[in-house]
Amino acid sequence: MCSGIDLPGRRYNLRSNGVSSDADSERGSEALVHSFSSRTRRRRVITNNVGSDEPLGLRPVNPNMEEDTIDSNGEPQDADYSYIPLLSDELALLILARIPRSEHPKLCCINKRYMALVKNGELSKIRREIGVTEPLVIIFASGEHHWWEHSPSSGLWRKLPDLPSEPSFHLADRESLCVDTQLLISGLESNGMSVWRYELLTNSWHKGPSMATPRCLFASANCGDVARVAGGTKNRTILNSAEQYNPRTKSWEPMPSMKQRRKLCSGCFMDNKFYVVGGVNEEGKLTSGEFFDREKKTWHLIPGMINDLSSSDCQSPPLVAVVNNELYSLETTTNKLKVYLKQSNSWKDLGMVPVRANHSRGWGVAFKSLGDRLLVIGAAWNAVDHHSQGISIFSCQPDPNARDAHWFFLGRT
């Protein structure tokens, strides 16, 4: 969902995240979390120049030969074109799959075969198969046209290519979601709502595909092999329609409609089900939720799902995130972390969150899952402890059975 917060001298916009390929915990080898912040000089930036794609002609040295034998095509007959000399390709690929994604541009510099391995998705496929996880944070700086990629494991930042949209696309609110290695951004251009797609493997932007029913203020989640959206509004009409995006075919497919119309709602993926929580309709605020049963292809209503969460007028969509199949919420009026108790359809208090979500009714706060941790980005409630005012980043490893969550300060944007 799109959101914003006005701070002295600068405006920040935060938007929703996608999840990942690991269905049980909203994470995976290609997980992306979307948030928005300002740029600082503290960032270490790596470029994405892949360098020359000319083969290096790696081959073993034969001390018994004074000169290599050349075949009719001008290639050494004893040339070794394996990924790693003396290792089978199968074993070499298992080794290469464990190289951090931040180092992949260097692989592209070795030769064309390595470049193809990275850009055709084969290396990412192997990473998923062997369970290599590496969450990434995609950050947009308000007032700029640049997106940034941050790797928490390496601490490196990389600027993405400029988004080649119309200027009007940058001026209006946008929605973002992700699936597999693709980031989708929905916004307004001169001819109506449009979708731009960023391909992580090729480091490039592409136009489309547009949703079957263009919309804004919708719920979304990465549901493993597909991304799903539901609800929202189109031409001031509140929707209950839903659809899913297939990253392999790069196409949208219709889904059965929800039980209730809703906008300003939130989505998540838990227990292999797509949940849509809260929102408003023509009659006012909704405290219900509903989930989509993939096997039966039907929606199931959960009355009073967020009854225990306090609310206020003009607040943001519910701030929810799933870690290890447990649903957590940042309560925007009290700044408290809560966990959903599925059996009793109620919420348990896990203590305070170190950001001032109540300062702007939840707008301008990013609350997302990042692997097995929660990530929150917002204005710190105790700026003195963190040396200056501004947007701070915290994380915790939540335990639904604990009394309080322990948050760790990661830095400022």
pLDDT in tens, 215-255: 999 999 999 889 999 999 999 999 999 999 999 999 999 99
Cα dihedral 7, 35, 341, 267 sign = positive
**pLDDT digits 0-9 by tens, 282-307:** 999 999 999 999 999 999 999 999 98
Say how far apart CA 249 and CA 81 lie, in whole Å: 32
Q: In the predicted model, what is the mean pLDDT of the chain?
A: 79
Count CB neighbours of 124 within 10 A: 23
Out of 66-70, 114-118, 153-157, pick the least confident.
Answer: 66-70
Q: Residue 21: pLDDT band by 50, 70, 90 thresholds?
A: very low
Return the higher-pLDDT residue of 370 and 278: 278
- 3-class state of residue 274 by DSSP: strand
pLDDT (0 to 100) of residue 136: 83
Q: What is the pLDDT of residue 279?
A: 94
Q: What is the pLDDT of residue 78?
A: 43
Burial of 372 per CB tally in 10 Å (0-12, 13-18, 19+): middle
pLDDT of residue 231: 97
Question: What is residue 28's predicted lDDT score, i.e. its pLDDT?
Answer: 38
Band of pLDDT at residue 389, cut at 50, 70 and 90: low
Confidence of residue 318 (pLDDT cuts 50, 70, 90): very high
Is the per-residue pLDDT at 11 higher than 60? Answer: no
What is the value of pTM for the model shown?
0.76
**In the predicted model, is pLDDT for residue 74 greater than 80?**
no
Lowest model confidence (mean pLDDT) among 32-36, 94-98, 169-173: 32-36
What's residue 208's pLDDT? 87
Q: Per-domain residue ranges for the chain?
A: 2-44+131-412
pLDDT band for position 4 (cuts 50, 70, 90): very low
Say yes or no to pLDDT of 319 above 90.
Answer: yes
Assess contact for 211 and 229: CB atoms under 8 A: yes
What is the distance between the alpha carbons of residues 367 and 329, in angstroms, rounded to a whole number? 8
Q: Which of 162-171, 181-190, 236-245, 376-385 has the lowest mean pLDDT?
A: 376-385
pLDDT beyond 50 at 275: yes
Provide the CATH number for the domain formed by 2-44+131-412 in this structure.
Answer: 2.120.10.80
What are the tens digits of pLDDT across the range 135-148? 888 877 556 678 88
Q: What is the pLDDT of residue 103?
A: 84
User: What is the C-alpha radius of gyration for the chain, rounded to an integer number of angstroms?
Assistant: 23
Section 65-76 average pLDDT: 44
The mean pLDDT of 115-136, rounded to a whole number, is: 87
Lowest-confidence pick of 6-20, 123-137, 154-168, 382-396: 6-20
CA dihedral 80, 83, 87, 91 (to 10 degrees): -160
Helix axes 89-96, 122-129, angle to 10 degrees: 80
Residue 113 pLDDT exceeds 70: yes
